[in-house]
Chain A
Amino acid sequence: MSQETLLLFSTIILFLPLFGFVVQSFFGRRLPRQGDWFETSLLFLGLILSLVVLYSKLSLYPEKTLEFSFRWVDFKSVPGIGPLQIDLGIMLDNLAATMLVVVTVVSAFVHLFSIGYMAGDIRYSRYFGFLGLFSFSMLGIVLTNNFFTMYVSWELVGLSSYLLIGHWYEKKSAADAGKKAFIVNRIGDIGFFTGIMILFAMYHTFNFEKVFGAIGAGNIPFGSEKWLTAAGLLVFVGAVGKSAQFPLHVWLPDAMEGPTPVSALIHAATMVAAGVYLVARTYAMMTADALLVIAYIGVITAIIGGTIAITQTDIKRALAYSTISQLGYMMLGLGVGAYSAGMFHLMTHAWFKAGLFLGSGSVIHAMHHALHHAGDHDTDPQDIRNMGGLRKRMPITFWTFLIFTLAISGVPFTSGFLSKDEILAGTLAFGSLSGHYLLPILAYLVAGLTAFYMFRLVILTFLGEHVDPHRLENVHESGKVMTIPLLVLAILSVFIFYSFNPFGASSGWYFHYVERPASAVPLAQQAASLETFEEALHQVHLPALLLSLLVAGLGILIAFTTYYWKKINADAVAERLAPVYRFLQRKWYFDELYHAAVVRLTIGVSRVLRWFDDRVIDGLVNGAAFLTKISSFTSGRFDNVVIDGMVNLVAYITGFFGLVLRKVQTGKVQTYIVFVILGVMVFFFIFRSM
């Protein structure tokens, strides 16, 4: 298959969902079944094509980056720059090819799942249309070869995320969550935009390769490495917003107000991973300082997400915090230099987290029906305290959920173990190289926490006894359209797809094909080279492996003793550690903090501005109005009296003369003749005397 065909296929994959979106928007409601089959089959077609693309790319051009550009605009001359051309296009390297599969697989199966989950929804066709729009935008991020279309797609995923979170906008909390997600993302986008502007101001191009090439040639922004670090960090700020990293992670849990399949697709597997992907794309321009910041932000995010997830009782919210925590892991991986491990975790996480969300969707769906059947509208179908014992009624959901949980907890023979172990080993290697030992310590702590809270979810949801045995009878396994995606994703969470060695992925195909790109930044600002890093990695490999097994086992053990065998009374522990518990349950008081610091500040500033408007601006306007009134009154008087008086006087004088002179005008010709003669005589005498 030629390179052109591959690029053509990628372009087709990119535009298939957009075509679906357009069709859904205009004809969705008129199509049979509101067009769900149409959009879904487009995505499956895209899935098949992207598998073909991935296979061909890896087998035929493993070392090459395929690129296609076209000239978008051509300014003959721009002041201060000279001629300026902007090229847009797509780029297909191994990373993009794998991401293509990740996005289309999750998107296609989420479409399939939605057919069951969203059945009977009032905005059914619109929902599928927006899913298509999202898939298009996400594929745009994956395939773009320049910052420009990256930013456009970036905003488009934000928009579709907003639209889908607010799908049930009649619910105030959903509408608010949509707004919150959009606004918080916007804060990150400002950083991203500024970063792009710095690069564009310097290099007059948006193209990734050209920018990195220029940096590699020693042409760094404004001649200072600090500017390069700043540009990298500003781009990273965009990733912080989109990937829900500390301190902009607050929107993601609220985004769970959207339909559960949306949470699986956008807020677990793909869109939130876009930030990680962005950092990976721009990896070549990241300086060591920037990478260190990224690593610390990642680990802080991981620990915040992990600790909060322990106390959450809403199944989706707990999963949302777990997502935040895992996204932190990916950033941490990239930050410490374990590039392949971070991106690998992105992929494996996409499968099992999408699976977890779809599984929770299946549970919520079943709970909802059971509660509906019982006429109970007060019990929350998402609260794990109202569940338990669902294993017997929903076996497929339970077993797949268990596999995903094992994967995320990092239990061997799962994909999650492979990726997580590599990241943890990477942090340990980085710690040994640079002395930043806080990173691995926190990372391992989070690994233990992850195992603990995930098994807490499983035990409380599926094991034990149901709270209300009568209700349990009405809980049914979900239909095929919902269980098939779960099964597929569960199969993809097994180690065999990534590496034949269940205890190490570094020999697997992913690590072979997706390698850390060469850094373009000046040597003094480069992170440890790939060789040094790999050597350190090799040395810490076994302890890292054992340690990660240990913490995962410990976490699972504590979860079982607490929630299954009930040897430890969770409530008593919470009672004893009340301040800590409250701190975690209130999500580290981030919402309160932002409310106090940002929302209240904004409102305060608005109040001041309003006062200023009311008093000063309005005062000025009113004063001006008053002056105008006075002056117009005066000039009105002047007009009335003086001007009109003068005009009237003239008219009066004219009238007076008219009155006098009309007597002369008799209309008798003979009188006139007399006057003429008299006049001639007068002239005669006048001129005679001269």
Chain B
Amino acid sequence: MPLQVGLTHYLFISAILFALGIFGVATRRNAIMVLMGIELILNSANINFIAFSRYGALNLDGQVIAIFVIILAASEAVIALAIVLNIYKMMNTVNIDEVDKLKE
């Protein structure tokens, strides 16, 4: 029986992507890497939306939301990178463990 690509496969890929994203967010010390993890999480969500749009009852709504998420991710990345850039300017580091001024 030829491998039929179905919903499960998409969800599986999405889950792996999500787990990788979480892993990146939770373990990376570099702020850039954390941001990249977030991007992975958002994209895994996009895959889910698209998959449900294709196989589920979501129809075109899923695709519209995915486009929304992409736009959101872009704007989020812009702001977040600006913040990171400023942090680097002020503290000469992008290591989030060292950015702990509020703790003091």
- A interface residues with partner B (beta carbon < 8 Å): 667-670, 673-674, 677
Interface residues of B toward A: which range? Answer: 10 to 19
- A contact residues around B103 at 8 Å (CB): 667
Of chain B, the residue at the smallest CB distance from A673 is: B26
- B contact residues around A668 at 8 Å (CB): 97
Instruction: Across the A-B interface, give the 9 residue pairs with the lowest CB-CB distance, nearest first.
Output: A667-B103, A670-B26, A674-B26, A673-B26, A673-B25, A677-B22, A667-B100, A668-B97, A670-B25
Q: How many A-B residue pairs have CB under 8 A?
A: 16
- B contact residues around A670 at 8 Å (CB): 25-27, 34, 96
For the complex with contacts A670-B27, A670-B34, 5 further pairs of A-B residues with Cβ separation under 8 Å are A667-B100, A667-B102, A668-B97, A670-B25, A673-B25
The digit string for B9-32, where 1 denotes a CB below 8 A from any CB of A, is 000000000000010011100000
Complexed CA–CA distance, A673 and B23 (Å): 10
- Say how far A640's CB is from chain B's closest CB, in angstroms: 40
- Say how far B53's CB is from chain A's closest CB, in angstroms: 24
- Say how far B66's CB is from chain A's closest CB, in angstroms: 22
- Say how far B5's CB is from chain A's closest CB, in angstroms: 27
Of chain B, the residue at the smallest CB distance from A667 is: B103
- Say how far B15's CB is from chain A's closest CB, in angstroms: 13
- B contact residues around A677 at 8 Å (CB): 22, 26
**Are the C-beta atoms of B96 and A669 separated by less than 8 Å?**
yes
- B contact residues around A667 at 8 Å (CB): 100, 102-103
Complexed CA–CA distance, A670 and B96 (Å): 9
- A contact residues around B22 at 8 Å (CB): 673, 677
Complexed CA–CA distance, A673 and B22 (Å): 9
Complexed CA–CA distance, A670 and B30 (Å): 12
Complexed CA–CA distance, A677 and B21 (Å): 12
Complexed CA–CA distance, A340 and B103 (Å): 114
Of chain B, the residue at the smallest CB distance from A672 is: B26
- B contact residues around A674 at 8 Å (CB): 26
- B contact residues around A669 at 8 Å (CB): 96
Complexed CA–CA distance, A628 and B100 (Å): 60
Task: Report B79-101 residues with CB < 8 Å from chain A CB.
Answer: 96-97, 100
Of chain B, the residue at the smallest CB distance from A677 is: B22
Complexed CA–CA distance, A667 and B101 (Å): 10
- Say how far A366's CB is from chain B's closest CB, in angstroms: 108
Complexed CA–CA distance, A669 and B102 (Å): 12
Complexed CA–CA distance, A670 and B25 (Å): 7
- A contact residues around B27 at 8 Å (CB): 670
Max chain A Cβ within 10 angstroms of own Cβ: one of B22, B26, B100, B102? B26
